[in-house]
Structure 1
Amino acid sequence: MSRQELKRYTVIDRWIQGLITGGEAAELLGLSYRQVCRLKKRVLEEGETGIIHKNKGRKPAHALSDNTRQRILELHQSDAYQGCNDVHFAELLAKYEGIHVSPSTVRRIRSEAGIKPKRKRRPPKVHRPRQRKPQPGMLVQMDGSPHPWLEDRAEPMSLLAAIDDATGHIVAALFRPQEDTEGYFRLTQQMIEQKGIPMSVYSDQHMIFRSPNEKQTIEQELAGEPVPLSQFGQALEELGITHIKALTPQAKGRIERLFQTLQDRWIVELRLRGIDTIEEANTVLPELIKAHNEQFAVEPRDPESAFVPLEQGQALDLILCYREKRTLGTGETIAYKGKTYTIDRSDHQQTIPRKTRVEVRETLDGRLFVRHKGVDYPLKETVPPKRQSLPKQKASSEKQPHKPAPHHPWRQYRRTQSKSRIRQRA
């Protein structure tokens, strides 16, 4: 008999002896009067055992069988589900094994077996989170996460992702061998093709997002010179996107928490799908993104989207590209990466004046263009004409004696010496 049951029996027994009333017994036990009447009847009929609950010591009808519990424990320790947290493991059991249990059941089975959780639970920190933007597309956070996403099946790679601040939707994502400018160009292209152009982009202080020469001197600021931008920064400026650079990782906590969730889940998902290469990982990314957005995305306060489409005449491949300044030579030729290029067109009339400073744009697929006054001219490789040099005359083997000029100082010296000698003799 438990302590609570012993207390109930003592109170009911005092009521039976007439020491207290039924209302006082109900008040002492915190039960209703009808309930204490039932307890009194059972004590009168069965004695002390009548106070004990009838289901005590019996296994509940809805309890898991021992075989099911053992199966869950074996799957939890298997290589396929290694590293899963309790919530994700419960979802995978229902999806792949047909075992429908709650995360609390998984946690209880794991705890009874003496298995420690994947991550230690910490008390929540008291902080005031930044309020989400009201509309989708007002702010998109971008970042990369280098991690062994395919474990020991491949080299570590980086996941580049962009998440909408208002809804938590992953608007674009791709795997790259490492964080690079081309990867963020392709990430932005994927976002614009699927959603549109956002109002602003939030990133960190990586050199991909900022130029090493962006700190200007006082003279440059007074002269009104523009701040130098990186290749990615120039593309965002042409698209009309405001670029915000965070000073700390905590400032862009939404995408940092996203990577923590994806590292917790997608490593197991890629393992269960048998993904061994970065190409295969990028193939299944749309499926993983869709499942994540359906489970974790939230509704915005204002359903109207702030994403805007590309303007008419804007070529995305000529915006998300590499840019270099060059000087146009004679015949509209340009030297670029050790090769000579000329403008590719049918007429040979030179429309861009020579010695003009132009911008060379190289697309992600390797095509080259020259931009002058808002017009893009394609380039083609050409062979520079060789300079014809005059044949050198063979020097004669006979040396001609050098004769000083009539007014050479040497001759003047001899004349002066002869005159002085004549005066001395005289």
Structure 2
Amino acid sequence: MTRAEWKKVLVVEKILDGHMTNAEGAAALGLGVRQVIRLKKKYVEEGGAQALAHGNRGRKPKHAIPEEVKDHVVELYTTTYHGSNNCHFAELLEEHESIKLSTPSVRRILLSKGIKQAKPRRRKKAHQPRQRKPQAGMLWQIDATPYAWLEDRAPSFTLHAAIDDATGTVVGAVFRPTECREGYSLVMMQGIRNYGVPLGLYSDKHTIFRSPHETLSLEQELAGETKPLSDFGKAMAELHIEHIKALSPQAKGRIERLWGTFQDRLVIELRLLGVKTIEEANEALPKLLEKHNRKFAVQPKQAESAYMEPDPSVKLEHVFTARKYRKLGHGNTLSYNGKVYTFAKPCKFRFDARATVEVRETLTGEVLVWHHGQAIALKETEKPVRDPATPTKKAEPAPPRKPAANHPWRLAWSPKQLQRNTNFAPGQVT
């Protein structure tokens, strides 16, 4: 019997012995007088203290989980869903196995078999939380993390992603072999096409986001730039997105916490889909993002969206590019990455000789000239190749030049002698 049940027994016995009244017993037990009278009757008629014990003690609950279901759950965890946390495991059981169990039930079943959660919960550190932005589209956080997303089925690669600060919606994500500008550019293009242009972007201080050069080059000054920007930073400026660079990982905590969720859940989901390559992972990623957003995204404080409509005349492929400056040569040719290019079609713009132009290379490798907000297509042209069989004429050394016998340099430096030998007029040599 429990301590509370023993207390009832003692109070009832005192009432029966005349040491307490029904009202005093009810006050001691925190019950009503009528309930105390029922306890006395049960004690007398059913034979003592055992009658006051809970009637279901020792019985198996009617809604108890059958043992065969428990064994099946443990088998599924050890063979198919190993590594998932209790909450995610309960969701996977309902989604794939049609077994509906609560998270606490799953936890108790696994603990009864000696299976603890793969990643134990840590005590949360006290910190001052930053309030979410009130409107969707006011701020995105962007980052990348390398991880063994396919476990031992493939080498580790990097996931690039961006999350909306107000709603927690993952607006874009892509797998790449390493952290790179192309990965961040693809994430931004996904998000802008699906949601719109955000007002601000929060990132770390990687050189992808900031230029390592502290001063502007001459070409940048002539192009009208006011401060050095990386290629990604120039794209943000062109789209009028305020780019904020965090000083610590804690400053962009929402995207940092997203990595913990993805490393818990995304690895299991990719395993269940049988994904074995980075290409297959990128194909499966959009549906997994939709599933994640349905579960974790929240409503913003203000229903009105802060997203800006992208300009239909602006092609994102021409914005998220690598940018260099080159000088036009004779015949409107330029050299870029060891190749020679010229205009693919007759150009309506007139360029001065040796003019400096901005060359942009898209993510697909297309090279173009950007002039007055317009893209001018280029085509590769062949370099002039010399015939190796044709001997090249080398410059010969000039023959030695010997001064004449009566050259002034050969004579003594006497004015009279110099005048006599060279027949100079009097007064010409001093």
Q: Does 1:95 align with 2:87?
A: no
1:39 deviation in Å? 1.1
Query: What are the residue-to-residue correspondences of 1:49-68 with 2, within 5 Å?
Result: 49-68=50-69
* Inter-partner Cα distance in structure 2 for 1:370 and 1:336: 11
SS in 2 for 1:142: strand
* Inter-partner Cα distance in structure 2 for 1:15 and 1:130: 60
* Inter-partner Cα distance in structure 2 for 1:328 and 1:100: 69
Q: Does 1:235 align with 2:205?
A: no
* Inter-partner Cα distance in structure 2 for 1:191 and 1:121: 32
* Inter-partner Cα distance in structure 2 for 1:401 and 1:200: 75
1:400 deviation in Å? 8.8
Q: Which residue of 1 aligns with 2:200?
A: 200
Q: Which residue of 2 aligns with 1:326?
A: 326
Equivalent position amino acid for 2:70 in 1 = R
* Inter-partner Cα distance in structure 2 for 1:214 and 1:392: 47
Q: Over residues 243-297 of structure 1, what are the superposed CA-to-partner deviations in whole Å (9 max), with x where a residue is unaligned?
A: 0000000000001011100110010111111111111111111111111111111
* Inter-partner Cα distance in structure 2 for 1:393 and 1:7: 117
Q: Which residue of 2 aligns with 1:275?
A: 275
* Inter-partner Cα distance in structure 2 for 1:259 and 1:113: 30
Equivalent position amino acid for 2:344 in 1 = D
Q: Which residue of 2 aligns with 1:85?
A: 85
* Inter-partner Cα distance in structure 1 for 2:212 and 2:243: 16
SS in 2 for 1:7: helix
SS in 2 for 1:317: helix
* Inter-partner Cα distance in structure 2 for 1:329 and 1:65: 82
Equivalent position amino acid for 1:381 in 2 = E
5+ long unaligned stretches in structure 1 = 217-223, 420-426
Q: Which residue of 1 aligns with 2:366?
A: 367
Q: 1:331, 1:350 within 8 Å by CA — same for their partners in 2?
A: no
* Inter-partner Cα distance in structure 2 for 1:370 and 1:343: 9
Equivalent position amino acid for 1:18 in 2 = G
Q: Over residues 168-208 of structure 1, what are the superposed CA-to-partner deviations in whole Å (9 max), with x where a residue is unaligned?
A: 00111111111111111111111111111111110011111
* Inter-partner Cα distance in structure 1 for 2:324 and 2:225: 18
1:298 deviation in Å? 0.5
SS in 1 for 2:144: strand
Residue 413 to residue 332, structure 1, CA distance change in 2 (3 Å)? same
Equivalent position amino acid for 2:371 in 1 = H
1:366 deviation in Å? 1.6
Aligned residues: 410
* Inter-partner Cα distance in structure 2 for 1:351 and 1:240: 29
Q: Over residues 309-352 of structure 1, what are the superposed CA-to-partner deviations in whole Å (9 max), with x where a residue is unaligned?
A: 222421211111110011112221111111211122247x8711
SS in 1 for 2:46: helix
Q: Does 1:354 align with 2:353?
A: yes
Residue 318 to residue 395, structure 1, CA distance change in 2 (3 Å)? closer
1:74 deviation in Å? 2.0
Q: Which residue of 1 aligns with 2:112?
A: 112
Q: Which residue of 1 aligns with 2:24?
A: 24
SS in 2 for 1:47: coil
Q: Which residue of 2 aligns with 1:173?
A: 173
Which stretch shows the higher mean deviation, 278-287 or 206-215?
Answer: 206-215
Residue 314 to residue 44, structure 1, CA distance change in 2 (3 Å)? same
Q: Which residue of 2 aligns with 1:341?
A: 341
Which stretch shows the higher mean deviation, 239-248 or 225-234?
Answer: 225-234
Q: Which residue of 2 aligns with 1:292?
A: 292
Query: What are the residue-to-residue correspondences of 1:356-395 with 2, within 5 Å?
Result: 356-384=355-383
Q: 1:214, 1:229 within 8 Å by CA — same for their partners in 2?
A: no
Equivalent position amino acid for 2:84 in 1 = C
Q: Does 1:137 align with 2:112?
A: no
Which stretch shows the higher mean deviation, 111-120 or 178-187?
Answer: 111-120
SS in 2 for 1:335: strand
Instruction: Give me the TM-score of the superposition, normalised by structure 2.
Output: 0.88
* Inter-partner Cα distance in structure 1 for 2:393 and 2:129: 81
* Inter-partner Cα distance in structure 2 for 1:81 and 1:117: 12
Q: Which residue of 1 aligns with 2:219?
A: none
Residue 177 to residue 394, structure 1, CA distance change in 2 (3 Å)? closer
Q: Over residues 98-126 of structure 1, what are the superposed CA-to-partner deviations in whole Å (9 max), with x where a residue is unaligned?
A: 21111111111222222222222233322
Instruction: Give me the TM-score of the superposition, normalised by structure 1.
Output: 0.89
Residue 134 to residue 3, structure 1, CA distance change in 2 (3 Å)? closer
1:50 deviation in Å? 1.3
